[in-house]
Amino acid sequence: MAEIVIRNLRKEFGAFTAVRGSSFTIRDGEFFMLLGPSGCGKTTTLRMIAGLELPTSGEILIDGEDVSQKPASQRDIAMVFQMFALYPHMNVRKNISYPLVSQGMPKAQVQAKVAEVARILGIADILDKPVGGLSGGDRQRVALGRAIVRNPKAFMMDEPLGALDAEFREHMSEELRALHDRMKATTVYVTHDQLEAMQMGDKIVVMNHGVVEQFGTPQDIYDHPATLFVADFIGSPSMNFLRFEGVAAAGATSVQLGEVPMSLPELQEPAAGKLVLGVRPEHVGLTDNSPYRGRVEATEYLGTTQIVTLSTPNGVVKARAPATQSVKLGEAVGLTLNPRTLSLFDATTGRAFR
Ligand code: ATP
């Protein structure tokens, strides 16, 4: 078990900076997601925590000990890779016991540990099968078994489910999360899939271009995105952005969208200039009696809800409405934005006003 503290972590590859001074804390037992688009530096961050890559500067503390410049072998961290890196010529039992046998652990102890891990993962019945003939899921379980069996301080997982098809991926992600809930081992998990991060993570770091954009619980990040990037990256369909020029004093509880005042959570700081009002589709209501109007451009039926696309004076807005609500293409309708859920951003810096 381990707490991992990251301080001002930076990684340069020649002239290119892949990670630009990240800081965050992974608490003992957390399922922690590193989330962001391709190339944002999440794998590099994971590899630095595991010791497979040394930082250019900054610190990695594991349980208070600075391991920044230590090799992987001295960190007691297990990597679980996407491509089930198993030994194809060995059976399941040998694959799982390999790390223990190579440490020189006595045979009886190895047998007991392998049996325990096989029970946790539900693979006791395939221990003597060759790994070559196993299904994708069983291979993944064996790869996990090999990581779990040596009881490391923490697990690092780099898109471990990336090779699986969608349906099976969902099943394995539930299995992984349930396994974590039983074992409570600190786990750092890299993904570019925001839904996977939201569903599985206790905490999420959202990265973009080597920078930590936000660090928090899934709910924090969804409800209070710190930047336009995070607001756009998390949620499907994404948050709507209403662009306007305006001014709001500290303590203000509304902004003026053209002629229409829009209530929002009380601002702690003043805002002025090019602004963006952010609202999630599920917080846009369609009603006749609102002075803020839009025109219905498209509807997309999703069973219990529908996504209604509207053009407004401040840009395109998508609303998630009940499927039973009647909306007609080309019709002008009133929009209500749930005031408690609105975010206000600076269009130039992309930062949210608090
Ligand atoms: P992906 O999901 O595509 O792997 P990522 O967010 O995990 O993306 P990284 O693998 O951390 O991104 O890579 C971040 C950037 O650093 C990329 O532009 C990559 O090309 C670069 N990079 C990574 N490793 C090296 C290296 N050894 N030498 C040079 N550049 C590298």
DSSP 138-184: HHHHHHHHHHHTT--SEEEEESTTTTS-HHHHHHHHHHHHHHHHHH-
Mean pLDDT of 270-296: 96
Ligand 1 geometric centre to CA of 140 (Å): 24
Ligand 1: residues with CB < 6 A are 13, 16, 18, 36, 38-44, 192
Confidence of residue 138 (pLDDT cuts 50, 70, 90): confident
Nearest CA to ligand 1 atom 2: 38
- The b-or-e profile of 137-161 (16+ CB within 10 A means b, else e) is ebbbbbbbbbbbbbebbbbbbbbbb
Is 163's pLDDT higher than 80? no
- Nearest protein CA to atom 18 of ligand 1, as residue: 39
ipTM for the assembly? 0.96
- Going by alpha carbons, the residue nearest to atom 27 of ligand 1 is 13
Best residue among 11, 13, 79, 158 to mutate for probing ligand 1, ranked by most atoms within 8 Å of CB: 13
Residue 281: predicted pLDDT: 98
C-alpha 39 to ligand 1 mean position (Å): 5
What residue owns the CA closest to ligand 1's atom 28?
13
**pLDDT reported for residue 120:** 85
Residue identifier of the C-alpha nearest atom 24 of ligand 1: 44
Distances (CA, A) of 236 to 26, 115, 171, 239, 282: 27, 42, 21, 8, 10
Name the average pLDDT for the chain. 94
Distance 64 CA to ligand 1 centre (A): 28
What pLDDT sits at residue 141? 87
pLDDT confidence of residue 288: 86
pTM above 0.95, yes or no: no
**Average of pLDDT values for 97-103?**
91
* Cβ contact 299:286 at 8 Å: no
Q: Mean pLDDT over residues 28-56, rounded?
A: 97
pLDDT at 1 exceeding the cut of 80: no
What is the model's pLDDT at position 229? 98
Amino acid 83: pLDDT: 55
What DSSP string runs through 71-139? -GGGT-EEEE-SS----TTSBHHHHHHHHHHHTT--HHHHHHHHHHHHHHHT-GGGTTSBGGG--HHHH
pLDDT in tens, 12-30: 999 999 999 999 999 999 9
pLDDT tens profile 311-330: 999 999 999 999 999 999 99
Our mutation pick for probing the ligand 1 site, out of 22, 43, 157, counting the most ligand atoms within 8 A of Cβ, is 43
Q: Which residue is listed with tokens 């002075």? A: 291
Q: What is the CATH number that goes with domain 4-229?
A: 3.40.50.300
Residue nearest to atom 10 of ligand 1 (CA): 43
Q: Which of 44, 159, 208 to mutate to test the pocket of ligand 1 (most atoms within 8 A of CB)?
A: 44
Give me the pLDDT at residue 84, please: 62
> For 75-91, how does the pLDDT look when each residue is reduced to its tens digit (9 = 90+)?
999 988 765 678 888 99
Q: How far is the CA of 149 from the centre of ligand 1 (A)?
A: 30
- Supply the residue whose CA is at minimum distance from atom 23 of ligand 1: 44
Q: In this model, does residue 65 exceed pLDDT 70?
A: yes
Domain boundaries, the chain: 4-229, 237-353
> pLDDT digit string (tens) for 249-278?
999 999 999 889 999 999 999 999 999 999
- The type of residue at 267 is L
Instruction: Judge whether residue 247 has pLDDT over 70.
Output: yes
What pLDDT, on the 0 to 100 scale, is given for residue 173? Answer: 87
pLDDT above 90 (res 225) = yes
**pLDDT bracket for residue 196 (50, 70, 90):** very high
pLDDT at position 82, please?
Answer: 60
Phi, psi at 170, each rounded to 5°? -65, -40
Question: From the alpha carbon of 44, which atom of ligand 1 is closest?
Answer: 11
Atom number, ligand 1, closest to the C-alpha of residue 190: 7
Q: Indicate which residue's Cα is closest to atom 11 of ligand 1.
A: 41
To the nearest whole percent, how much of the chain has pLDDT over 90? Answer: 79
For the beta carbon of residue 251, count every other beta carbon within 10 angstroms.
Answer: 10
Is a pLDDT exceeding 90 seen at residue 294? yes
CATH class of the domain at 237-353: mainly beta
Say which range, 48-52, 54-58, 86-90, 253-257, has the weakest mean pLDDT.
Answer: 86-90
Return the structure tokens found at 6: 């990251």
212 exposure class (CB count in 10 Å sphere: 0-12, 13-18, 19+): buried
pLDDT of residue 135: 85
